[in-house]
Structure 1
Amino acid sequence: MISSLVDQPGGGRADPPLGFLGLGHMGLPIARQLVRHGYSLRVYDPDPRRVALLLDEDYVVANSPGSLAFSSHLICSMVPDDASVEQIIGELAPRLSNGVHLSLSTISPQLSLWALKQYQQAGRGSHFVSATVLGRPPLAEQGRLTVFVCGEASAKARVRPLLECLGSVYDLGDRPDAAALVKLMCNGVIVSSILGLGYAAAFLRAEQINPAPILALLAQTPLFTGTVFQEYGQMIGHDVFQPTRFPVPLGLKDVQLILSQGVQNGTQLPLIELAQDLLLQASQSGWGELDWSVMGRVITARQPTGPLSHPLHEQTHI
């Protein structure tokens, strides 16, 4: 059902309509999911073709981001970059009264801090809440996203029912840039995994082995469906590398075998070379009896900033 901003939306919850900005690859399935849970939407997207994809959903079309501030107390945005969020805040902050701007976008931590300040300086009683999402469009359609939320407690309480429509919600405390930081970390793990798979495929192709069924097999084995992240992630997260499941010398041996074979088949393996360097340093540091995931400790030790003065886990509730 499409109507103009002055029309009354039909059906939906008794709550005031939800403002929704951005109907891209993730925004569109998220909007559909919210409608399925009874929300009436007032939507804006600069591309009217994206709005039309909502088809018979319960929504009203707005002609600008700022116009939503006069009809919705809760405004959700899912836009592609910092510049888009800045533009939205430039229109919303001077107009939105006693409301919440819920940003689902992956944005810079600096922008999260800036956004909070804009609403505070506007003096209209509105809040900015960052809730980054982990997942792809099919998971958004199914309401199976992973959501990291941070911000002022009362503002988070207002948006919590909405977020629970989207998937599993994890509260990272009141630090305003926590959700952005955690999402960047997650994307870093994804990028590193993609690189690892890419180098693995190159290694197999150099040996005239089709990588497709092998990589598919990895996705089905217990080790790669969660054990690696569960066991090694816990060790690295707590900086505790015992009991030793796979000691540093054995890890170093395997890494050197991979590199030796890479030399023979002409495959460049920079990630494996890095692992060798880290394992050698672990051995030289007297950590040879520990699990090879102690590479995580070596990486931390190499950082110029030293340990965090305010560990995030102290204010994270997961």
Structure 2
Amino acid sequence: MKVGFIGLGQMGGAMARNLLKAGHEVSVWNRSADKAAPLTEAGARAASSPADAAQGEVVMTMLADDRAVEAVVWGEDGIAAAPALHVSHSTIGVALAERLAAESRAGGYVSAPVFGRPPAAEAGKLFVVAAGEDAAIDRAQPLFDAIGQRTFRVGERAPAANLVKLSGNFMIMAAVEAMAEAMTLAERGGVARAALLEILTETLFGAPVYRTYGELLVRDEFRPAGFPAPLGLKDMTLADAAATAYRVPMPLLGIVRDHLRGTIAAEGEDIDWSAMALALRRGAGM
């Protein structure tokens, strides 16, 4: 399939590489052109603009935030008028997803955010959450198969996929908050974090999120950031906007946001979002 890929960060670069490995004809574009070099060396074509990358059957975007998506779609040489089906993997707000779906032209639009950290992207083991017209998702399915291990379809309303993604990221942060509080309590009382994690993941909390993030908390493995804390704060802000729009109280979300803010202020922007545990340890005098 002739496909464009826009946004070549840790996640996007790995996803584009897996499309190449699956035999697709890939054109790539990134605001910082140097990030395209490893992919062009692997066989991708360097597009001259977002619009140039969107001249094939599908164009996939994996960008940091709403503003970046808006620039690529409606900015100079954007993809809005291009013929390709736009598949957005970015974690964006519900309102922007609604606008993208409403203003999509001949190519169409699918929201398809993913769950998984960079190692999962590199291994082609992401989970794709897709929403849009069935025919459009069918067109993109071979590409989803190349980047992920399973695709979940959540209906024809594109924003539904983004709501799932924001809900999932909130639950990840809620799990990290709970583990960080429990580990801080246990450590303060003389129980090693590693011991607590082993007991809990081998009994009550064996899910991947507890194992993956629990290990990061035990080892203080917060740099290099698998998912930078400012992006986590952005996602929690988008979740809060959705909660406001739907009139849903989410008190735990407020705690998570505050701990992310404190962590970024104290540690800088190059730290993983799981480092919010440091805010709890500081509060406990540790």
Query: Does TM, scored on the shorter chain, surpass 0.5?
Result: yes
Distance in 1 of aligned mates of 2:36 and 2:208: 41
Tell me how far 1:205 sits from its aligned partner. 2.0
- Give 1:114's aligned residue: 99
Of residues 71, 86, 94 in structure 1, which corresponds to 2:70? 86
Sequence identity (%)? 32
1:76 aligns with 2:60: yes
Using the TM superposition, give the Cα deviation of residue 49 of structure 1 relative to its aligned residue in structure 2, in angstroms: 2.4
C-alpha offsets along residues 29-81 of structure 1, whole Å, 9 cap, x if unaligned? 11111111111211001112211233631201012112223x31210111111
Residue aligning to 2:217:
none
Please state how far the C-alpha of 1:217 moved relative to its aligned partner: 4.0
Which residue is equivalent to 2:175? 193
Give the number of the structure whose alpha-carbon radius of gyration is greater.
1
Give 1:98-113 correspondences, 5 Å limit: 99-113=84-98
Contact 2:40 2:46 (8 Å CA) reproduced: no
Partner of residue 203 from structure 1, selected from 179, 185, 192: 185
CA distance in 2, matches of 1:228, 1:128: 30
Aligned to 2:164: 182
Match of 1:225 among 206, 211, 216: 206
Provide the rounded CA distance (Å) in 1 between the counterparts of 2:38 and 2:208: 39
Aligned to 2:171, the other structure's residue is in SS state helix
2:113 is paired with a residue whose SS is strand
Contact 2:172–2:209 (CA<8 Å) still a contact in 1?
no
Q: Give the superposition deviation at 1:228.
A: 11
Change (3 A) 1:227 1:137: closer
1:24 aligned residue: 9
SS of the aligned residue for 2:104 comes to: helix
How far the C-alpha of 1:24 sits from its partner, in A, is: 0.3
Structure 2: 5+ residue stretches without partners: 211-245, 250-286
Letter in 2 for 1:207: G
Change (3 A) 1:227 1:201: closer
5 Å matches for 1:40-79? 40-54=25-39, 56-69=41-54, 71-79=55-63
Partner secondary structure for residue 8 of structure 2: coil
The partner residue of 2:117 within 129, 136, 143 is 136
Stretches (4+) displaced over 6 A: none
Task: Give the corresponding residue for 1:4.
Answer: none
Per the TM alignment, residue 227 of structure 1 is displaced from its structure 2 partner at its CA by: 11
Deviations 1:280-318 (A, max 9, x none): xxxxxxxxxxxxxxxxxxxxxxx9669xxxxxxxxxxxx
TM-score (norm 1): 0.62
Deviation at 1:118?
1.9
Contact 2:29 2:48 in 1 (8 A): yes
Where relative contact order (Cα < 8 A, 6+ residues apart) is larger, the structure is: 2
Scaled by the length of structure 2, the TM-score of the pair is 0.69
Deviation at 1:226, TM superposition (A): 3.8
Aligned residues: 210
Secondary structure at the residue paired with 1:223?
coil
2:19 corresponds to which of 16, 34, 54: 34
| SS in structure 2 of the partner of residue 107 of structure 1 | coil
Find the aligned partners of 2:104 and 2:193 in 1 and give their Cα distance.
Answer: 51
CA–CA separation in structure 1 for the residues paired with 2:61 and 2:26: 12
Query: In 2, Cα distance between the equivalents of 1:141 and 1:83?
Result: 26
Distance 2:56 2:208 in 1: 44
Q: Deviations over 1:132-191 (max 9, x none)?
A: 100011111111111100001211111011111222001101012011000011001100
Distance in 1 between residues matched to 2:118 and 2:145, nearest whole Å:
17
